[in-house]
Amino acid sequence: MERIVLRHLSGSKVNQVEEFPLAHFKDLSIGRDASCTVKYDADRDDLVGRVHAKIARDEANPQQFLVIDLHSRNGTFVNSRRVAGPTFIQHGDVIEFGPGGPKLQFELEPRTEHLIRPTRSAVDAYATFDSQPGIKPTRDGNLPGASVPFGGAVSDGELYRKINNVVGGVAGGGEERARVGKATVERMIMQGQVENRKQTRNQLLLGGGGLLFLLALGVGSWFFLSKWNKPQAAPSASTLTPAEIAKRYSKAVVYIEVGWKLYVTETGRQIYHKYVPNEHKVGDKVLPIIPGAGALIPAYGVFEGTIEPMLSEDDRNAAPVGSEHTGSGFLVSADGFIMTNKHVAAPWKSKYQYLRSGVLVDNRLNLLKDQDGRPRVTKAPDKWVPSEDSMVRHKWLGGLKGRLDYVEVVFQNSSARYPAELTGVSEVHDVAMIKINVTQSLPKVEIFDNYNVIEQGAVVTVLGYPDVSPPRIGSVRGQDPLSQTSGGKVFTVPGVTLSYGNVGRIHRDQDKEQGKPANSNTKSLIVGDAYQLTINSTGRGNSGGPVFDDQGRVIAIFFLSGNDFSGNNVVTYAVPIRYGAELMGAPTR
């Protein structure tokens, strides 16, 4: 067995053949999303979901394959029958995506002995008893009594005689009865034996079912009568300690390095934040607007009632909008898909964190002043999102978009960098997906959506690469004489940090819709759907890291840390994993 072959029988890919070497693909995702392995046309194949289904190996028996419907709207069909869960498929099976949707035939090449379809069990198998060259098999005419058992155990000869008595007819007065051929009788004997075996088996099952019922009743009675006198059972063996979680899943948690800048989609030119001289005249004196801020300070304008940076394509007296930063992520598939935060992988779609205090200006960069003539100094806006700036907010097309200069993924205790690409961004919460291209199977985590059942106090373990952990620095000296330098290349060698705590509070976005009248003495922190954690040993850099439950399943994504209202303790938050699962093409709501 070397490769999977998919022969498209209908849809936009009709008559196409796709081959996937088994050494490179553990499973094949199928849908209209660009991230799918088997991609259907987004318009013509509209019965197919974004990520409709997948074909995967059976973990218990890698020689077997299954098709798994990923909660698609229109369902998945195997040989015209809708599947409700993971379903085994064999060489030659036809898979259909939605009723009347695209069809493909699943094949394996080269085809091995154990993958040949099993012998078909049907009455046709007995036809060879009557077959002779040039003669058609005997037609089954549904003869009366042929399928009725004759009662009791009889010899083949006696059964032969009874059959002929039943089916034989008188052609006319005194004419000899028509007789049934020996081959037909032998076939009917076999059918009678099958019916006898079925009857015996059903009787055994009925009797055995009664015994099992009585046994279950006895065990249940013992359990309910004795449980009050017994100590509570020990925790399930599936519960893992934080150390066990780290040992099992650290290899699937990655360090992410990102560099990006902001561009105008219409012109393709880079965007800059304008600066103005840090000075103004007071009488005959020239004084700094913001003492100690340097020769130039950021310029801000008021747009639609909000303060925003003054942006321009002119790079004179300006700073580029962009950054270089690090974050965390975790592998959710063996072929290189990684889940992380939106503010890590697509930061132009999140609050920009690199602004500083400046001065308000008009559209021509002239200083705006108070009534007493002093320039209007302002703090940096804390909610400015580059891709939502007012200059493009109301445009249907175009606008401002970030461009990734690089996204590199690093595994723990390694200096090797793997380039990645952005494959998906949530418009609802702080989640994004990136992918690295690899030829080997990678370690991955198990995700578990417990959004509807999670409880306050649940134990959680967070893995990632927070900035508070001192970095390890390594160097690599190349062996290529054409690119080797004298000092060697210096890299950060990341090491996973473990944090442990509980879910301190569960925030629901809908809570504010069900709340009571506002109280001026009440302060609230709107974080949307989030789990507040009792973990304050992590922070920046850990963004995008996995949050595990006590069974080692990822239930959330670490995304935010900040000071509480007293300004002292750090409060941390995590995004429920259902928002990440939606990016994987698995609708959860």
pLDDT tens string 62-85:
888 999 999 888 999 999 899 888
Which pLDDT score is estimated for 232? 39
* Cα 262 versus chain centre, distance: 29
- Residue 588 forms part of a structural domain: no
Give me the CATH number covering residue 401.
2.40.10.10
Does residue 290 or residue 396 have the better pLDDT? 290
DSSP 1: -
Which pLDDT score is estimated for 162? 44
Which pLDDT score is estimated for 152? 41
User: Lowest-confidence range among 18-32, 209-223, 284-298, 548-562?
Assistant: 209-223
Which pLDDT score is estimated for 536? 81
Residue 129 scores a pLDDT above 70: no
Which pLDDT score is estimated for 3? 86
Highest mean pLDDT among 335-344, 535-544, 555-564: 335-344
Segment (H or E) for 205: helix 182-226
Mean pLDDT of 155-159: 44
- Residue 224 forms part of a structural domain: no
- Residue 212 forms part of a structural domain: no
Which pLDDT score is estimated for 513? 42
pLDDT tens digit sequence for 179-191: 444 444 455 445 5
pLDDT tens digit sequence for 452-471: 999 999 999 999 999 888 77
Confidence of residue 433 (pLDDT cuts 50, 70, 90): very high
> Percent of the chain at pLDDT above 90?
50
Total number of domains constituting the chain: 4
Mean pLDDT of 152-172: 42
Which pLDDT score is estimated for 236? 46
pLDDT tens digit sequence for 244-303: 999 999 999 999 999 999 998 888 899 999 999 999 988 889 999 999 999 999 999 998
Residue 567 scores a pLDDT above 70: no
- Residue 241 forms part of a structural domain: no
How far, in Å, CA of 347 to CA of 449, rounded? Answer: 26
Give me the CATH number covering residue 33.
2.60.200.20
**Whether 270 and 417 share a structural domain:** yes
Mean pLDDT of 565-586: 79
Instruction: Spell out the long-range contacts of 78-85 with Cβ–Cβ below 8 A and sequence spacing 24 or more.
Output: none
**Whether 395 and 529 share a structural domain:** no
User: Lowest-confidence range among 70-84, 186-200, 384-398, 564-578?
Assistant: 186-200
Highest mean pLDDT among 144-153, 181-190, 308-317, 393-402: 308-317
Angstrom distances, CA of residue 470 to CA of 300, 392, 497:
36, 41, 10
- Residue 64 forms part of a structural domain: yes
How far, in Å, CA of 392 to CA of 299, rounded? Answer: 19
Which pLDDT score is estimated for 270? 95
- Is-contact 313 269, C-beta < 8 A? yes
How far, in Å, CA of 163 to CA of 366, rounded? Answer: 110
- Residue 231 forms part of a structural domain: no
Residue 326 Rama label (left phi>0; alpha psi -120 to 50; beta): beta
> SS3 letters for 6-62?
EEECCCCCCCCEEEEECCCCCEEEEECCCCCCEECCCCCCCCCCCCCEEEEECCCCC
**Whether 191 and 160 share a structural domain:** yes
Confidence of residue 353 (pLDDT cuts 50, 70, 90): confident
pTM, entire model:
0.58
Residue 483 scores a pLDDT above 70: no
- Residue 221 forms part of a structural domain: no
Q: 196: closest CA among 230, 160, 154, 226?
A: 154
> Percent of the chain at pLDDT above 70?
69
pLDDT tens digit sequence for 23-46: 777 789 999 998 899 999 988 999
pLDDT tens digit sequence for 339-351: 999 999 999 999 9
DSSP 179: -
Mean pLDDT of 195-205: 54
**Whether 408 and 466 share a structural domain:** no
Mean pLDDT of 517-528: 51
**Whether 419 and 291 share a structural domain:** yes
**Whether 304 and 364 share a structural domain:** yes
Does residue 264 or residue 481 have the better pLDDT? 264
**Whether 390 and 348 share a structural domain:** yes
**Whether 99 and 151 share a structural domain:** no
* Cα 256 versus chain centre, distance: 19
- Is-contact 533 541, C-beta < 8 A? no
Q: What is the mean pLDDT of the chain?
A: 78
Segments forming the whole domain that contains residue 279? 247-436
SS3 at position 339: strand
Confidence of residue 142 (pLDDT cuts 50, 70, 90): very low
Tokens 């303060």 -> residue: 307
**Whether 335 and 432 share a structural domain:** yes
- Residue 222 forms part of a structural domain: no
**Whether 190 and 132 share a structural domain:** yes
Q: 96: closest CA among 67, 63, 62?
A: 67
**Whether 25 and 131 share a structural domain:** no
Mean pLDDT of 531-559: 92
Confidence of residue 336 (pLDDT cuts 50, 70, 90): very high
Residue 487 scores a pLDDT above 70: no
How far, in Å, CA of 5 to CA of 518, rounded? Answer: 62
Which pLDDT score is estimated for 95? 96
**Whether 404 and 528 share a structural domain:** no
The token pair at 406 is 């690089």
